[in-house]
């Protein structure tokens, strides 16, 4: 949808979307508690199966819904980080930290970087915090060989969806970022200590191998699904990017954040995060209100959806072309080289 089809000004969107913002405590508690109980029951069943020498393929099969519940808990953490889940900040922080620990994520450090993402999405001059590494066509052409090589590895689907999620959740999140606040630093250290204690308890009771046999598939599947969802939300052919004073937050939400139209079961596991254009317009709308908001606010339905299958094509778009205002494939480099464009390496 072009933003000219929308109400027109941020203040108009605020008034239109305000009735949907803020969580309902009873509904939030029911969603959180039911998801947590199902998640823990699934893990318990998987541990019983491993310790009872069930065929491992059955454990891997059970890992699929457990990983889906893991993603759902991450989305609940995400809502808490936006103060969208509860009106009580203490309850919101408690639930957010609980979900974050399950997701191997330092809560306050993640909230800080995610807030930067919301403030800078679609702004070419403020990339680099809480987003997917994206280079422009000209930046790639001017970059030294080692940076181009690193970027090609990073944007390779095998790395991005295979090794990347495990590196992010198991390694990157274990260390404080540059220029972190004391609160973020405490969040990282407290999360690391809590996770170390949990792993130690499992190692001393059932053994480290059964723990890894259950948790690694869950973390791999959930991490891959989470990274993919985040990728497709802001990486597609006609995504909005701009620079400096021409950057517009409203357009960044409507044209720079996708409507990922998922089947019902995947909407449930992903907490409706596919309605990402709505989330960026008003991040204080809880996940369970996003679909109702989309149904009831007609201009939001004009956003062209990305389907489950068409979204996969985005994995083969790697560079932002500022001239055509589209995300393009590596072959755009070959086209420039064949045209004799100066400076092409």
Summarize pLDDT for 56-104 with one digit per residue, the tens.
Answer: 999 999 999 999 999 999 999 999 999 999 999 999 999 999 999 999 9
Residues 6+ apart with CB under 8 A from 130: 113, 114, 116, 117
- How many beta carbons lie within 10 A of that of residue 327, not counting itself? 21
Summarize pLDDT for 219-254 with one digit per residue, the tens.
Answer: 999 999 999 999 999 999 999 999 888 898 888 989
pLDDT tier, 344 (very low <50, low <70, confident <90, very high otherwise): very low
Asked whether the beta carbons of 275 and 259 are under 8 A apart, the reply is: yes
What pLDDT shows up at residue 310?
Answer: 85
Name beta bridge partners: 306: 260
Q: How far is the C-alpha of 157 from the C-alpha of 41, rounded, in Å?
A: 32
Summarize pLDDT for 158-217 with one digit per residue, the tens.
Answer: 999 999 999 999 999 998 876 678 888 899 999 999 999 999 999 999 999 999 999 999
Of 53, 55, 33, 59, nearest in space to 215 by CA: 59
> Would you say residue 338 has pLDDT above 70?
no
């Amino acid at each position: 949808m072009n933003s000219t089809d929308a109400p027109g000004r941020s203040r108009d969107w605020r008034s239109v979307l305000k009735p949907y913002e803020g969580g309902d405590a009873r509904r939030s508690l029911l969603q959180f508690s039911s998801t947590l109980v199902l998640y823990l029951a699934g893990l318990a069943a998987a541990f019983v199966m491993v310790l009872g020498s069930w065929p491992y393929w059955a454990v891997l099969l059970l890992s699929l819904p457990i990983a889906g519940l893991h993603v759902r808990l991450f989305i609940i953490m995400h809502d808490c980080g936006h103060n969208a889940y509860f009106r009580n900040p203490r309850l919101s922080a408690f639930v957010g930290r609980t979900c974050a620990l399950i997701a191997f994520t330092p809560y306050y450090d993640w909230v800080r970087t995610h807030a930067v993402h919301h403030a800078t999405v679609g702004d070419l001059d403020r990339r680099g915090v809480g987003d997917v590494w994206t280079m422009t066509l000209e930046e790639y052409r001017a970059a030294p060989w080692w940076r181009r090589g690193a970027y090609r590895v990073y944007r390779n689907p095998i790395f991005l969806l295979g090794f990347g999620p495990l590196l992010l959740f198991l390694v990157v999140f274990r260390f404080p970022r540059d220029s972190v606040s004391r609160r973020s630093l405490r969040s990282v250290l407290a999360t690391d200590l809590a996770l170390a204690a949990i792993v130690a308890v499992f190692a001393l009771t059932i053994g480290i191998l059964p723990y890894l046999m259950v948790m690694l598939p869950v973390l791999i599947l959930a991490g891959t699904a989470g990274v993919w969802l985040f990728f497709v939300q802001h990486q597609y052919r006609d995504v909005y990017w701009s620079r400096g004073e021409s950057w517009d937050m409203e357009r960044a939400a409507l044209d720079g954040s996708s409507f990922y139209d998922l089947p019902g079961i995947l909407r449930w596991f992903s907490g409706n995060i596919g309605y990402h254009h709505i989330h960026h317009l008003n991040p204080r709308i809880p996940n369970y209100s996003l679909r109702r908001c989309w149904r009831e606010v007609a201009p939001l339905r004009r956003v062209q959806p990305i389907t489950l299958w068409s979204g996969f094509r985005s994995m083969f778009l790697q560079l932002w072309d500022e001239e055509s205002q589209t995300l393009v494939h590596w072959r755009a480099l070959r086209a420039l080289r064949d045209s004799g464009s100066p400076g092409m390496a």
